[in-house]
Every structure is written in structure tokens, then in C-alpha cells.
């Protein structure tokens, strides 16, 4: 007989909440409803637990011991509490193997997607959605060029690439696909049957092509000028592309000249150019616009090549609170989750002939070495130089030939097969002229570019001998023109040598020797060393064009006068400076040097608002500390506001107090744009509406103003002409608007817009609620499946700054207020005490959403905080959170 529990009178009136009692008390129908609900709840819990397990499964082991085949000796991987790895070994080869292993631990899916993109194989993973991208990339041949580069590299660089690949592959061999990344698990649920291929050295090189594409220069401006030319005179186009003001915005290098092919800081000289301009018809404009739209649809990870830039500056010991140089850098790139950079350190326990590295900083997953950072002797940073290294050519194509100077020349032909997941293979026929691949073969619109448009060269122009059937040069291209792309990155180069050369350099001469290999993308390189020197070097392949072509608009490929000469600006002739008298160097994509420089770099510089603000602050501070350099990186002063706000405050007759209350926000505004600023919110919405009201009626949608530095210069000029034609709204009949009419309407529209978006009370407005930083995973973060997007994306960060501001969180006024590009990382290096340096990443080092390091630097970044940058062994050990020992495998050959 079962013993009954003793009766407790204190519980006599307590209800019994057990499921069994509920089932007994409930009617039969309700019992089953409760049962089903309980089962569903249990299933949901089990699914959640399972999902968490799958999400956490790829998070790597970062403590303990593991085997890494191929190692010569044990390697230590010491990680701090943000997962940043500092690697210690006895040979360069072991450092590279371990770096590849660690990169695969943290970010292999990102690496795998990148190599599929750069090889034109995205369709293998994502089906038809990747096909257009694959066509463009295969046509340009990025992977083919990367494979050709391997033979050009120094043996030490090839060895490093091979060792890095060995480390990646060791990790892949030790883990199943679902253990490598949760993305593979989710894609598997969608039917992807896939096992990653071994990593190859060319996979690392191909990603450098993607970075060159992101920083390619003025190709978008070439197209925009053509689109504007159909509706506007050359004078009106000049209004939209003002000349660079050297007096207002000093170039990076003051003075200097090329003497016998060598740039000297104190020389002088002069040069001229006189290009011809082709005529463009409506079909040309539509086709080039279609090309731009197609290229804009390439994955976000490849960047947009427009509206991005960077800041870097360096001060010498006389301008430093430490008595030694301090160098700062923050490259501005598109935003993503994870971010483009990962921090790492590569340290030889002892520097020997077999072990030469002691370097730390930022690198790309999939690329060996450190791209930006410092070693024990020097520090360096990059900003985009932005030279014109791309040209679009209109080509006369007939059958398998193209025409130049009246001669039919054979096209270079090849055929490639693109495998498409879930679909039929696609056969791509690729054609090239001497200028480059025909991008028009990818686009149906481009295949008829210029149809029925006569060639512009007059019949008596001796430069145009016409085609076989048009000896007078007046060819009527009934079948249209093809469009070819010539770009320096489409030829094999030795940029990978430069990366490791910079990592090993110990002085100015070795730094410049490494920079001479940095072919694409061309960068402004700032330098500092522990001996107290600072410097600047412009590297890269910059083509020398013949007299017919300045690269500002697509050129006539049928005239050899428009060709590149085949020569490039010699490295020794590129601007450089060591220890300038003013004691600092500031670069922010402004003009490198004045117009007297004998070689053509570009006319499409950033207009210099950021660089001028940086210079002003460096001059005002006198001596700067690491903390003051950090504060300058976070400067949110809007350089256009000081020009525009007085005009806005002069506007009267706004109407009721409802509109005047908003205007009053600007009266005591200091022109800064922190996230919590109400005046900044109002100003930027006024700016957006001003651009809309002024230009949308007269410009094609594809070239509406984005509101960046060029538009600062455009509007500044127009403000001085209150009755100028650009102010008139062409959509209104019998009314001619003036500047003040447009400003008044922009202010009224901005007040109404912010009332709708945020609040009736102007004091409750904030810039950050408009200016959101959303970090999206490049593939599954755009899946359209809400739970998956929530897993991978990190959205909704209120940030300050703005376009063409030192804290350059760019936005596109033609689209909205959200952040389109931002400082992808920030670093400040103290050459007096490397351990006193600071850095921060946009996201975190991990690519696993289940890792605590997936986005653990983002809130710090948004708040303007930095992390200590441990470099010395003592500092690294003091900050250690995990230590992983990688041991040679007993089974290694």
C-alpha cells in the first residue's frame, strides 16, 4: 500500500497548478487544447535549444591545445577579451600557417564567399541571384589575373601565401561543414550540397582585386558626366564639377617637382593637356546608365567605388605630447557585418633570418600579413589616392573584329562556363579589345550603345581615318558601339609583395622600397618611425595617356590618339615627402599636389573639406596626445554648415511659429553633428530637401546629388548667385524661383518631414534617429527571412557625423539618411610607446553570430571608445584571456 503524504492544513486552500490537475479539471476539448499547447511549447524550447546549439557549434576552440600539421614547432595564439589574436612562432612559415588557421577559425565563410565572388562563381552557392555578378567578374577576369600574379611574386611571398593556405586547409580538414559556419547549415537546409574546396594562394590574391575595385577612382564620374551632357551645356556641367580650390584646401604635398624623372620636394615645373571629346547621344547615355546600374548591383562587399574615402595624418615629435611621432588612420568603406577588417598580431619569438616578423594591426580574412598597422620600428596608414586608373572606351565592333585608325583588328575571345546552383550551366562568351574586356557583352542595353549615332570626328579630322566602310570618319553605327574597360588592376602586379615588405620594413628607405610594389589600388601612404621621422609616399600604377584622352569621359576607342601609352608614372616621380617643415602630414583624399605637377593623376579629387578641417585642428593644437588624436578622428563638425546656415537664418516669411521654431535651432548651433543633436537633424533634412528642390527637376535620376563634398562646392558657388538658373524649378509654369524661394521651401519641407518622422516638439529631434548605422551580413542578412536576418544583422545604431565630415559616416541624400559608408576601423599609433596605441574595429574579429566577438566592438565604436593595443609580449600576456597552443602533428610528413 502506497504511503500517503501527511496532511498540511497550511496548504489546504492552495490551488494545485500541476498539469495533471489542469487536465482533470478541464473539459475534454480544453484538455486536448492544453495538451497541444504544452507539446508545441516543448517543441519550441527544443527547437530553440537545437538552434542555439547549431549557431554555437562553429564557434572555435581558443583555449587548450590543437594540432596543426606542417608546423616546425609549437605556436602560441594568445587572445584578449575581445578575441583578438596575437600569434607567436619561431619561423615566418609557422606564423603564416597559424594566421591562416586562425582566419579560418574566425571567418572562413566570409573567405569562401569572397573567393566565389572574385572568381565569378557566386552562382554555385546562391543560384540565379549570383549570375549577373558572375558575368561581370568573369568578363573582367579577376581570378585569371590573380593566378598570373603568382609567378611575378617574390619567392618569399609565394611561400607565405602557400603556408597561409596550408593553415586554412588544416582547419577545413579537421572540421565538417556544419562545424565551420552556421551559414553552411542554413544553406544546406535550402538544398545546397556543398563541401568547401581547399584554399589556394590565388584565392588570397584575388581579394586584392576586390579592394582595387572598391577604390577604383572616377569611373562613376565618367558616366555621370556623359549623362549630364545630354541635357546640359559644358558650362552647366562645369557648375556641377567645380575646379579644385588649391588655396582653400591645400594639397597633401606642398610644392616639389620632377627632375630627370625623380620627384624632389623643392623643384618646380609645368604641363598641359588638350583632350578631344566624343559626342554622346541618348542611347549612349541610357546604356552607360545601365552599366552603372548593373555594376551597382554587384555585392556590397565589393564596394561602390564612390562616396568613400579615408583619413590619415601623422605629426612629428615637435607636434606630439610624447616627443615622438603619432600616426592616425581611419579608412572609410562600406558597412557590413562582419566588418571588412580583423585585428591580428604576428610575432617572432626571436628575430632571425627564418623569422622576420613582429607586426600588429588590421588585415583582411584570407590575406596573409598585416595590411595597415605597425611593427617594432615603423607605422603606416592608407587613404585612397584616387588616381584615374580606369577608362571606358566606345568601340566599333564588326563581327570578331574591332576597328582602330581604319584597321580591323581581331578581338580576343574566350568562353567560360558558369555553374548555377539549381539551374542550367551558363556559357559566357567574353570578348576583349586592346583596351580591355567588353562589359557591354554583359548588358543588353550596352550592346546597342550609341546605335544610329554618327561618330563625332569631323570628316576633315586626320586623326579619324574611319572604318573599312567609312573612310571619311562619318560612320553611322546602326549596330551600336561596344564598351570596353581599361583598368590597371586587370594586369598582373606585385601588390602582395608590398604587404609583406611593409610588415618587415624598418626605416624610410625600406618603406619606400615596399611601397614601390604597391601597384593597385593606388594609396596615399603616411609613415612614422621610432627614430622620429615622418613621411608620405604616393605609390601605384598610374597610366600615362596620349594627348587625346584625359579619362574624364568615355573615349573613342577607334582613335589610337585616345590610347594609354603603355607607360606609367615612374615610382620615383610620384609625390613623396620626408620630414616636412610644418611638422605634420594630413591626407583625406584631397589633391595630392598642385596643377604644376607634370603628370596627370586625376581631376576628380575629394574637394578637401575633411583634410582642411584636420589641418586646422593640427595647427591649432600645437602638441597632440594620443587622446587628442582620437578626439580628432571623432570630430563631427560639418564644414558646409558655416557657409549655408547664415543664408538659412536670413530667410524671413517662413510663416507661423511652427516653422520658425525649427529655424531657431540653428541660431546657436556650433555646426557639430553628434547623434543627439536636434540642430544637426534639422540642418541635414534641410540640406536633403535643398538638393532635391534645386537639382531633381534638371538632372536625370541616376545623377541626383548624393550631398557629399562635390555638392558642398557646387552649392557654395550657387549661393553667391541668388537669381541663377539652377534655382528655378522647371516644373512650375509662369514662375521663376530664386535662391531664397528654394531655401524657404527646403526649410518648410524639412520641418514637416521631421514632424512626421520624429516629433512635433523640435527639441526632441535627434540626428542619430535619422542617421542609423545598420550592419548587414552580406549574404544571408539580405535573405528576406526575418529570423535569419535577426541572427546575422546588427541594426539600429544611432550615430553622429556625416558625409565629408572627419567622422565620415556617409549618407546619400538621393536615397535617405542611413549610413552608407563609415570609418571601417580607427587606429592611433604612438611611436614613443607602442603599447600606448589604441584601435577599434567597426564590428568584431569573429564572423560567427554565435560568438561573443561577432559584434563586441560595435557599441564601443559607436560611443567613440577605443581598445588598448597591446604589442609587447608583456602587454599581450597581461591582456590574455585565452591561450591556444598549436602543436606540430605527429602524422605530418
Of residues 212 and 195, the one with the higher pLDDT is 195
Confidence band for 5, pLDDT divided at 50, 70 and 90: very low
Give, in degrees to the nearest 5, the angle at Cα 102 between 101 and 108. 80
Identify which of 566, 569, 565 has the alpha carbon closest to the alpha carbon of residue 537: 569
Higher pLDDT, 285 or 453: 285
pLDDT of residue 254: 84
Computed over every residue of the chain, the mean pLDDT equals 88
When pLDDT is averaged across residues 410-417 and rounded to a whole number, the result is 96
Distances (CA, A) of 827 to 83, 86, 696: 17, 17, 39
Looking at residue 48, its pLDDT comes to 59
22 in helix, strand or coil? helix
Q: How much of the chain exceeds pLDDT 70, in percent?
A: 85
Active-site residue identified among 123, 162, 229, 310: 310
* Pairing state between β 64-67 and 882-887: parallel
What is the arithmetic mean of pLDDT over 261-281?
55
Query: What pLDDT is stored for residue 23 in this prediction?
Result: 35
Q: Is the pLDDT of residue 409 over 80?
A: yes
User: Which residue segments constitute the domains of the chain, with CATH numbers given?
Assistant: 15-56 (no CATH), 641-671+678-765 (1.10.1400)
Average confidence (pLDDT) over 778-791: 91
**Among 72-86, 289-303, 428-442, whose mean pLDDT is lowest?**
289-303
The span from the CA of 598 to the CA of 258, in Å, is 7
- What average pLDDT does the segment 777-792 reach? 91
pLDDT digits (tens, 9 = 90+) for 714-773: 999 999 999 999 999 999 988 999 999 999 999 999 999 999 999 999 999 999 999 999
pLDDT at 460: 33
**β-strands 794-798, 772-775 pairing:** antiparallel
Could you tell me the pTM of the whole model? 0.89
The pLDDT assigned to 278 comes to 56
Q: Helices in 508-591 by DSSP H: which ranges?
A: 508-515
Span 464-518, pLDDT tens digits: 334 334 433 445 554 568 899 999 999 999 999 999 999 999 999 999 999 999 9
Place 53 in a pLDDT band, splitting at 50, 70 and 90: confident
Q: What is the pLDDT of residue 286?
A: 62
Q: What is the mean pLDDT of residues 691-699?
A: 97
Give the residue among 309, 290, 642 at the shortest CA–CA distance from 483: 290
pLDDT of residue 217: 64
Lowest-confidence region among 50-54, 146-150, 582-586: 50-54
Buried/exposed code over 312-330 (b: 16+ C-beta within 10 A; e: otherwise):
bbbbbbebbbbebbbbbbb
Arithmetic mean of pLDDT, 555-564: 92
Confidence of residue 44 (pLDDT cuts 50, 70, 90): low
Phi, psi of 832, deg, nearest 5: -75, -35
Cβ neighbours around 723 below 10 Å, total: 11
CA–CA dist 238, 727 (Å, integer): 16
SS3 802: coil
Give the residue-averaged pLDDT of 268-291: 55
Residue 287: the pLDDT is 61
Per-residue pLDDT of 764-783, as tens digits, reads: 999 999 999 999 999 999 88
Cis link prior to 720 (omega < 30° from 0)? no
H-type alpha helices, 593-677: 609-621, 626-633, 641-650, 657-664
**Rounded to 5°, angle at Cα 850 from 848 and 855:** 65
Q: What is the DSSP string of 69-88?
A: TT-SS-EEEEE-TT--EEEE
Assigned C-alpha cell, 38: 504544452
Query: 135, 431 in Cβ contact below 8 A?
Result: no
**Model pLDDT, residue 471:** 38
- Residue 854: name the closest of 868, 841, 866 by CA: 841
Could you tell me the three cell numbers for 630? 582620437
Binding-site residues for Ca(2+)? 222, 388, 391
Residue 783 is among the residues annotated as catalytic for this protein: no
Handedness of CA 535, 539, 545, 549 (dihedral sign): negative
Instruction: Please provide residue 568's backbone torsions phi and psi, each rounded to the nearest 5 degrees.
Output: -125, 155
User: How do residues 419-461 score in pLDDT, each as one tens digit?
Assistant: 999 999 999 999 999 999 999 888 654 444 433 333 333 333 3
Is the bond into 50 cis (omega within 30 degrees of 0)? Answer: no
Sheet of 378-384, strand order: 64-67, 882-887, 75-79, 85-89, 342-348, 358-363, 372-375, 378-384, 523-529, 534-537, 576-578
Distance from C-alpha of 269 to C-alpha of 329, rounded to nearest angstrom: 32
Burial 403-427 (b: 16+ CB within 10 A, else e): bbeeeeeebeeeebebebbeeeebe
Q: Would you give the distance in Å from CA 378 to the centre of its chain?
A: 25
Alpha helix ranges (H) inside 246-303: 282-296
Mean pLDDT check: name the lowest of 110-114, 230-234, 280-284, 706-710: 280-284
CB crowding 821-858: b at 16 or more within 10 Å, else e? bbbbbbbbbbbbebebbbbbbbbbbbbbbbbebbbbbb
**807: pLDDT strictly greater than 90:** yes
Over pLDDT 90: what percentage of the chain? 75
175 conformational bin, left if phi > 0, alpha if psi -120 to 50, beta if neither: beta
The span from the CA of 309 to the CA of 386, in Å, is 9
Q: What is the pLDDT of residue 705?
A: 96
How many of the other CB atoms lie within 10 Å of CB of 305? 23
pLDDT score recorded for residue 453: 35
Give residue 212's pLDDT: 85
Nearest to 121 by CA among 103, 111, 106, 135: 135
pLDDT of 9 over the 50 cut: no
SS3 446: helix
The confidence score (pLDDT) of residue 463 equals 37
pLDDT value for 28: 52
pLDDT at 1: 40
Amino acid at each position: 500500500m502506497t504511503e500517503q503524504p501527511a496532511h498540511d492544513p497550511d496548504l489546504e486552500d492552495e490551488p494545485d497548478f500541476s498539469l495533471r490537475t489542469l487536465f482533470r479539471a478541464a473539459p475534454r476539448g480544453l484538455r486536448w487544447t492544453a495538451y497541444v499547447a504544452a507539446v508545441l511549447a516543448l517543441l519550441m524550447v527544443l527547437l530553440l535549444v537545437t538552434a542555439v546549439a547549431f549557431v554555437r557549434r562553429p564557434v572555435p576552440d581558443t583555449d587548450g591545445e590543437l594540432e596543426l600539421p606542417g608546423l616546425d614547432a609549437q605556436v602560441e595564439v594568445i587572445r584578449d577579451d575581445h578575441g583578438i589574436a596575437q600569434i607567436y612562432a619561431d619561423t615566418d612559415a609557422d606564423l603564416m600557417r597559424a594566421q591562416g588557421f586562425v582566419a579560418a577559425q574566425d571567418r572562413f565563410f566570409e573567405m569562401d564567399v569572397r573567393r566565389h565572388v572574385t572568381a565569378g562563381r557566386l552562382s554555385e552557392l546562391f543560384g540565379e541571384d549570383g549570375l549577373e555578378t558572375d558575368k561581370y567578374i568573369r568578363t573582367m577576369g579577376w581570378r585569371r589575373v590573380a593566378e598570373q600574379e603568382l609567378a611575378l611574386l617574390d619567392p618569399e611571398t609565394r611561400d607565405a601565401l602557400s603556408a597561409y593556405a596550408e593553415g586554412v586547409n588544416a582547419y577545413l580538414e579537421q572540421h565538417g561543414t556544419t562545424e565551420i559556419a552556421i551559414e553552411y547549415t542554413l544553406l544546406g537546409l535550402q538544398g545546397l550540397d556543398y563541401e568547401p574546396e581547399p584554399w589556394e594562394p590565388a584565392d588570397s590574391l584575388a581579394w586584392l582585386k576586390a579592394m582595387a575595385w572598391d577604390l577604383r577612382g572616377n569611373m562613376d564620374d565618367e558616366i555621370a558626366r556623359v549623362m549630364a551632357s545630354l541635357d546640359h551645356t559644358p558650362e552647366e556641367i562645369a557648375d556641377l564639377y567645380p575646379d579644385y580650390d588649391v588655396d582653400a584646401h591645400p594639397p597633401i604635398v606642398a610644392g616639389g617637382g620632377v627632375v630627370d624623372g625623380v620627384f624632389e620636394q623643392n623643384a618646380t615645373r609645368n604641363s598641359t593637356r588638350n583632350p578631344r571629346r566624343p559626342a554622346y547621344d541618348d542611347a549612349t547615355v541610357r546604356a552607360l546608365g545601365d552599366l552603372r546600374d548593373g555594376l551597382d548591383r554587384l555585392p556590397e562587399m565589393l564596394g561602390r567605388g564612390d562616396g568613400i574615402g579615408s583619413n590619415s595624418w601623422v605629426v612629428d615629435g615637435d607636434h606630439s605630447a610624447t616627443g615622438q611621432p603619432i600616426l592616425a588612420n581611419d579608412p572609410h568603406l562600406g558597412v557590413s557585418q562582419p566588418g571588412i577588417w580583423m585585428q591580428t598580431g604576428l610575432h617572432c619569438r626571436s628575430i632571425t633570418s627564418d623569422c622576420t616578423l613582429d607586426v600588429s594591426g588590421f588585415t583582411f580574412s584570407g590575406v596573409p600579413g598585416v595590411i595597415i598597422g605597425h611593427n617594432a620600428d615603423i607605422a603606416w596608414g592608407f587613404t585612397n589616392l584616387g588616381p584615374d586608373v580606369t577608362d571606358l572606351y566606345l568601340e566599333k565592333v564588326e563581327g570578331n573584329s574591332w576597328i582602330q585608325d581604319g584597321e580591323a583588328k581581331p578581338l580576343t575571345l574566350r568562353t567560360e562556363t558558369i555553374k548555377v546552383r539549381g539551374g542550367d550551366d551558363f556559357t559566357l562568351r567574353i570578348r576583349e579589345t586592346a583596351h580591355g574586356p567588353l562589359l557591354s557583352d554583359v548588358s543588353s542595353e550596352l550592346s546597342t550603345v550609341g546605335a544610329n549615332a554618327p561618330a563625332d570626328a569631323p570628316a576633315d579630322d586626320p586623326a579619324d581615318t574611319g572604318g573599312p566602310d567609312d573612310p571619311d570618319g562619318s560612320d553611322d553605327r546602326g549596330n551600336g558601339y561596344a564598351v570596353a574597360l581599361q583598368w590597371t588592376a586587370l594586369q598582373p602586379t606585385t601588390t602582395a609583395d608590398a604587404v609583406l615588405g611593409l610588415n618587415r620594413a624598418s626605416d624610410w628607405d625600406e618603406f619606400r622600397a615596399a611601397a614601390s610594389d604597391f601597384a593597385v589600388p593606388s594609396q596615399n601612404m603616411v609613415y612614422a618611425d621610432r627614430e622620429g621621422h615622418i613621411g608620405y609616399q604616393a605609390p601605384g600604377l598610374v597610366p600615362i595617356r596620349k594627348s587625346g584622352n584625359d579619362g574624364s569621359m568615355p573615349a573613342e576607342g577607334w582613335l589610337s590618339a585616345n590610347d594609354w601609352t603603355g607607360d606609367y608614372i615612374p615610382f620615383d616621380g610620384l609625390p613623396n615627402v620626408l620630414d616636412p617643415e610644418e611638422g605634420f602630414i594630413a591626407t583625406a583624399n584631397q589633391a595630392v599636389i598642385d596643377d604644376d605637377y607634370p603628370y596627370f593623376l586625376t581631376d576628380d579629387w575629394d574637394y578637401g573639406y575633411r583634410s582642411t578641417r584636420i589641418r586646422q585642428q593640427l595647427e591649432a593644437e600645437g602638441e597632440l596626445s594620443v587622446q587628442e588624436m582620437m578626439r580628432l578622428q571623432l570630430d563631427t563638425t560639418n564644414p558646409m554648415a558655416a557657409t549655408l546656415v547664415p543664408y538659412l537664418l536670413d530667410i524671413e516669411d517662413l510663416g507661423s511659429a511652427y516653422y520658425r521654431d525649427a529655424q531657431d535651432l540653428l541660431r546657436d548651433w556650433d555646426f557639430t553633428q553628434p547623434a543627439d543633436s536636434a540642430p544637426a537633424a534639422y540642418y541635414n533634412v534641410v540640406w536633403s530637401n535643398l538638393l532635391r528642390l534645386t537639382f531633381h527637376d534638371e538632372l536625370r535620376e541616376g545623377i541626383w546629388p548624393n550631398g557629399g563634398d562635390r555638392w558642398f562646392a557646387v552649392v557654395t558657388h550657387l549661393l553667391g548667385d541668388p537669381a541663377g538658373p539652377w534655382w528655378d524649378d522647371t516644373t512650375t509654369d509662369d514662375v521663376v524661383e530664386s535662391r531664397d524661394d528654394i531655401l524657404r521651401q527646403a526649410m518648410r519641407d524639412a520641418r514637416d518631414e521631421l514632424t512626421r518622422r520624429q516629433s512635433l516638439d523640435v527639441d526632441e529631434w535627434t540626428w542619430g534617429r535619422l542617421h542609423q548605422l545598420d550592419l548587414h551580413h552580406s549574404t544571408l542578412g539580405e535573405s528576406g527571412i526575418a529570423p535569419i536576418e535577426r541572427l546575422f544583422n546588427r541594426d539600429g545604431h544611432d550615430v553622429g557625423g556625416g558625409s565629408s565630415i572627419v567622422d565620415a559616416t556617409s549618407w546619400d541624400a538621393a536615397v535617405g539618411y542611413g549610413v552608407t559608408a563609415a570609418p571601417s576601423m580607427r587606429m592611433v599609433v604612438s611611436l614613443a610607446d607602442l603599447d600606448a596605441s589604441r584601435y577599434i574595429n567597426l564590428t568584431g574579429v569573429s564572423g560567427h553570430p554565435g560568438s561573443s566577438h561577432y559584434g563586441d566592438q560595435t557599441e564601443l565604436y559607436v560611443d567613440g571608445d577605443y581598445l588598448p593595443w597591446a604589442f609587447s609580449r608583456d602587454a599581450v600576456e597581461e591582456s590574455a584571456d585565452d591561450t591556444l597552443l598549436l602543436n606540430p602533428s605527429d602524422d605530418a610528413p
